[in-house]
């Protein structure tokens, strides 16, 4: 027996949290009967239908991908811009990115059809660390880093924070490692622009326990089962 919300999430349709919402809203039918009980369980032979569509579990796939600059993190774009799916084989089109990187940014994207894992990694309450290497074409100062650590209002009512470690610095540039625990749109660029600087390059090198290491730009490779297990253990400890 499998909990209904887990069964739905295993189809890649949505996370368990969203599945619970669909159940509570009366949108889920099991063997032709509406189910609104959140703790309801199903067997493999049961027919689960949502909005007239038969739901079936799928085998979960997990990849890491080195996004190059010049591509947006989406499946379709009304403006006709290049997307990351232009670089991926057709059998990976059903995989979704965990979070985003803007067009000019590079680095690690996790791609999966595991909606539950996507939710665990991106939900605002999770506070999962993401690590970046960022270069600014100017000398930044200690006071700038302190402001980023204390928080900068990048949008009305939205305070962004960042942990900074300086890797290289001279009169012309500053290269630093930045750790984020939030997931705001263009967060690093907006923080640095607020301080009067401009980002020259931005690369994500790690998301939770998954690292970019071992990939060239535009390359992808499956994430090993042992690494997924390590990731799940990390998320379990992080949410405890």
Residue 120 corresponds to which tokens in the numbers above?
């665990």
**Cα–Cα distance, 146 to 151 (Å, whole number):** 9
Q: Which CATH class is domain 2-55?
A: alpha beta
* Inter-CA distances, 42 with 4, 101, 143, 162, 220, Å: 6, 38, 57, 44, 35
Percent over 90 (pLDDT), the chain: 79
Per-residue pLDDT, averaged over 190-210, amounts to 97
- Quick one: 142 exposed, middle or buried, by C-beta within 10 A (0-12, 13-18, 19+)? exposed
Per-residue pLDDT, averaged over 65-83, amounts to 90
Q: For residues 48 and 6, is the Cβ–Cβ distance under 8 A?
A: no
**Cα–Cα distance, 212 to 235 (Å, whole number):** 19
pLDDT score, position 124: 79
12 pLDDT more than 90? no
Residue 77 corresponds to which tokens in the numbers above?
């774009």
240 pLDDT more than 80? no
What pLDDT, in 10s, does the model give residues 17-28?
Answer: 899 999 999 999
Catalytic residue among 46, 51, 76, 102: 102
Which range among 44-48, 75-79, 191-195, 203-207 shows the weakest confidence by mean pLDDT?
75-79
CA distance between the termini of the chain: 26
**Spans of all domains in the chain:** 2-55, 61-221
90 pLDDT more than 80? yes
- Topology annotation, domain 61-221: Pseudouridine synthase (3.30.2350)
Q: Judge whether 102 counts as a catalytic residue.
A: yes
How wide is the angle at C-alpha 16 spanned by C-alphas 11 and 20, nearest 5°?
Answer: 110
Using DSSP's 3-state secondary structure scheme, residue 8 falls into helix
76 pLDDT more than 90? no
pLDDT score, position 42: 94
Which range among 76-80, 98-102, 220-224 shows the weakest confidence by mean pLDDT?
76-80
What pLDDT, in 10s, does the model give residues 132-147?
Answer: 999 999 999 999 999 9
pLDDT score, position 217: 97
What pLDDT, in 10s, does the model give residues 216-231?
Answer: 999 999 999 999 999 9
Q: For residues 214 and 116, is the Cβ–Cβ distance under 8 A?
A: no
| Model pTM score | 0.84
Q: Where are the alpha helices (DSSP H) in the chain?
A: 4-9, 16-24, 115-122, 142-150, 187-194, 225-238
Average pLDDT of the chain?
93
């Amino acid at each position: 027996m499998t909990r209904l919300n887990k069964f739905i999430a295993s189809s890649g349709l949505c996370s368990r949290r969203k599945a619970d919402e669909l159940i509570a809203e009366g949108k889920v039918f099991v063997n032709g009967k509406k189910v609104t009980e959140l703790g309801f369980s199903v067997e493999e032979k049961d027919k689960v239908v949502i909005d007239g569509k038969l739901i079936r579990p799928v085998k979960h796939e997990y990849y890491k991908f080195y996004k190059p600059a010049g591509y947006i993190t989406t499946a379709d774009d009304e403006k006709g811009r290049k997307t990351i799916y232009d670089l991926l084989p057709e059998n990976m089109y059903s995989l979704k990115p965990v979070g985003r990187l803007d067009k000019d940014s590079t680095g690690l994207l996790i791609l999966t059809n595991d909606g539950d894992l996507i939710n665990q990694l991106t939900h605002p309450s999770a506070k999962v660390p993401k690590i970046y290497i960022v270069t600014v074409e100017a000398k930044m100062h200690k006071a700038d880093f302190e402001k980023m650590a204390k928080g900068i209002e990048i949008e009305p009512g939205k305070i962004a924070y960042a942990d900074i470690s300086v890797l290289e610095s001279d009169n012309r540039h500053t290269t630093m490692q930045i750790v984020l625990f939030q997931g705001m749109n263009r967060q690093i660029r907006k923080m640095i622009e607020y301080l009067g600087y401009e980002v020259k390059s931005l690369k994500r090198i790690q998301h939770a326990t998954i690292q970019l290491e071992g990939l060239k730009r535009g390359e992808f490779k499956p994430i090993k089962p042992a690494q997924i297990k390590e990731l799940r253990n990390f998320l379990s400890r992080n949410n405890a």
